[in-house]
Amino acid sequence: MENTNLKVLIVDDSTVMRSVLTDILKRIGFSEQNIMGAANGQEGVDTVAKEKFDLILLDWNMPVKDGFTALQEMRASGVTTPIMMVTTEGERMRVVEAIKAGANNYLVKPFDANDLEEKVQQLLASVS
């Protein structure tokens, strides 16, 4: 896998989810030093304003600023990085809205390593 040099931002309020996602990304070829975390939508928006990423994993439900609002703000500020929304089953209906707002793909929780790998590869292939 050729993901080694890609920089990823994981925006999720759950530290457990951030480490689960980090572990899976490492298993599919990403390097830990290129994986950053943000604990809510606002932190995510602030981080992408300062640094360029190749992929953003964006949780939907977060305090301070939810993922959907963060998505809208990132796109409004000209961020073109591929964004994958990470949603729960209950938010599945809102995914269309997120795609319209500029999300490139989505992952429904609970997911396993294969689901994430497949979606990440799909997403990176679609934008390359």
Binding residues for Mg ion, per CB under 5 A?
A: 13, 59, 61-62
Minimum distance from CB of 4 to Mg ion (Å)? Answer: 28
The pair of three-digit structure tokens given for residue 33, joined into one six-digit string: 């030093």
Nearer to Mg ion by Cβ, of 98 and 124: the residue is 98
Residues counted in the chain = 128
The pair of three-digit structure tokens given for residue 74, joined into one six-digit string: 């990132």
- SS3 (DSSP) at 73: helix
Nearer to Mg ion by Cβ, of 21 and 120: the residue is 21
Minimum distance from CB of 101 to Mg ion (Å)? Answer: 18
Minimum distance from CB of 24 to Mg ion (Å)? Answer: 17
Nearer to Mg ion by Cβ, of 43 and 59: the residue is 59
Helix residue spans in the chain (DSSP H)? 15-27, 41-50, 67-76, 95-100, 113-127
